[in-house]
Chains A and B, each alone.
Chain A
Amino acid sequence: MLSEAVRSIGANLSTTVAATMTVLIGMFLLGLVIAFATYARSWSDDVKAGLVVKVFHDRDATPQQVNAVRVLLERDPRVDKERIEFISAEEGLRQMRRQRPDIFSNDLPYNPLGPAWTVYPTQAEDVEEIAAAVGTGTKASPYPAGVHNVTYGKEKAKRILRVANIINAIFGIAVLVLLSAAAILIANTIRLSIFARRREIEVMKLVGATNWFVRGPFMLEGLICGLVGSLLAVILLFVSKEAALPSLLPRLTSDPDVQALGFWLISLILLGLGLLLGAAGSGLTLRRFLRV
């Protein structure tokens, strides 16, 4: 059967090459999309990780009031228990002096700050609700005793989350469109090659070939197209990575936490998807056009 598949690929070289090129282009773009998407995700995750809820106590808050807030925060399931940070008034002043030396100069007569809490959510999206659970400062939901403000970087948080969601959605759609385009093109190519070989198929059926003997070469052809196409795409991606990244790198953030998915992992994904596309494309067409 293998020899029949190789023979049929040789006899229908142009359609086979067309299908392989389609996979190549689709997979190359998909590789780029995956790289950029994972990079963007990683970036947005990094930014999201910076989203925190801050609870500011009054200067004269009693230890009991401070403790009550801690209990409140620890009970909230949306809060990352490991990362509830207490910032004493002195520590807060030190931080502010570093950030805004123009206002918090060394010659302040007294420390204007009270103690504070920095709370990290397990899900960045929850910052608003965590803050609201502590209190919004309105009549309906006043701050707890000894607390004068709760912040969560309202506008910044909303904008970051919106951008991150849009990036994810766009990349998701792009990947879906590319994948289905590649599958449809493979299916079309297989259909062409079935059409080109309908006489051979007729003879096959006539002399009593089993259905698998008729289908086999086409399926193998689809798989080979998928595999070779994605292999070429990986090579092309590698070449363009080596050529483009050195000039691109300085412009990107230097934060080591922000990373695209590893190249070899992307390659593996592409190869797997290529095979899957080949199988799906040919399987789809065979079912419809080759009632054996």
Chain B
Amino acid sequence: MTAVEEETFVTDTPTALAEPGEQDPTAAAPGAGAMIVFESVSKTYDPHVVALEAASFVIEKGEFVFLVGPSGSGKSTMIRLLLKELEPTTGRIIIGGRDLGRLPHRKVPQLRRNIGCVFQDFKLLSDRTTSENVAYALKVQGESRNSIRRKVPEVLGLVGLTHKGNSYPDELSGGEQQRVSIARAFVNHPPLLVCDEPTGNLDPDTSVGIMQLLYRINRSGTTILMATHDREMVDKMRRRVIALEDGRIARDERRGGYASE
């Protein structure tokens, strides 16, 4: 993935798409646009299971957003909609200025290369070493061997696993495995990182390390959307919180806590 390709994908969103009231002062600069726009998006699984109902919000470039809510409230559905694994029943989703509803099927891989994904269960390949797991993301995208050799140690350094490059996933602790999966998600420097309960399987101390890593990544300009159950973390970080309840957006606070105050 070259910087040029990234830029062609993440074009600037026309400001008309973002509701003026929602805009962050830092993101209002000319040329800056929304990273994610949900326009009254609903998703109904057949026949009557409503996973998401009329969800509307705008996430600006460079924001760090927590997505909270009990299990079954629609968090995972939202993430799968972002990756175009699912199609919304109604409504419009725009990512980096692209309307996903109009994105042809063959362009979906291109979309996913611009969205780093981190999951609760890491999704590492157990028969490959740390380096190979990270390199895999690049290989899949047809990156040259030279650039793989350059980028992999770089990103392993960022997540603090330089010395574990030749270890297999089952030789790593849970926190280390999650760092590998973050390294894989971030090796291309995607403009958007989506995390689905990245600390769900980790003890509190390890979670703090992961959150610090994600925070560092966010400060480098990457937008982060993180679904989580980690009440303590959300309360400590004081970032924007979008709370879902039964598929509806119950709360959207700029510097919120896990529960409404």
Contacts and interface: CB of A to CB of B under 8 A. Distances in A.
A211 B109 contact: yes
Nearest to B117: A206
Contacts of B57: none
Interface stretch (B23-31, B88-96, B134-142, B218-226): B134-142
What's the interface size class on B, roughly? 20 to 34
Interface string B99-132: 0000000100111111001000001110100000
B112 A208 contact: yes
B159 to A, nearest CB: 16
B136 A206 contact: no
Nearest to A209: B140
B179 interface: no
A203 B117 CA distance: 10
B123 A213 contact: no
Given A206-B117, A207-B184, A208-B141, A11 B109 contact: no
Contact of A207 (B106, B127, B137): B137
Given A208-B109, A208-B112, A213 B125 contact: no
Contacts of A202: 123
A199 B114 CA distance: 21
Interface string A191-212: 0000000011011111111110
A209 B117 contact: no
B140 A207 contact: yes
A210 B113 CA distance: 10
B147 to A, nearest CB: 15
A210 B109 contact: yes
A232 B171 CA distance: 41
A203 B127 CA distance: 13
A121 to B, nearest CB: 59
Interface in B141-157: 141-142
Contacts of A4: 139
B125 A207 contact: no
Contacts of B114: 208
Contacts of B127: 11
A194 to B, nearest CB: 15
Contact of B110 (A11, A205, A208): A208
Contacts of B141: 207-209
B112 A206 contact: yes
A200 B112 contact: no
B123 A203 contact: yes
Given A199-B123, A208-B111, 5 more contacts: A205-B109, A206-B117, A207-B112, A210-B106, A210-B109
Top-5 shortest CB links A-B: A208-B113, A208-B112, A209-B140, A207-B137, A208-B109
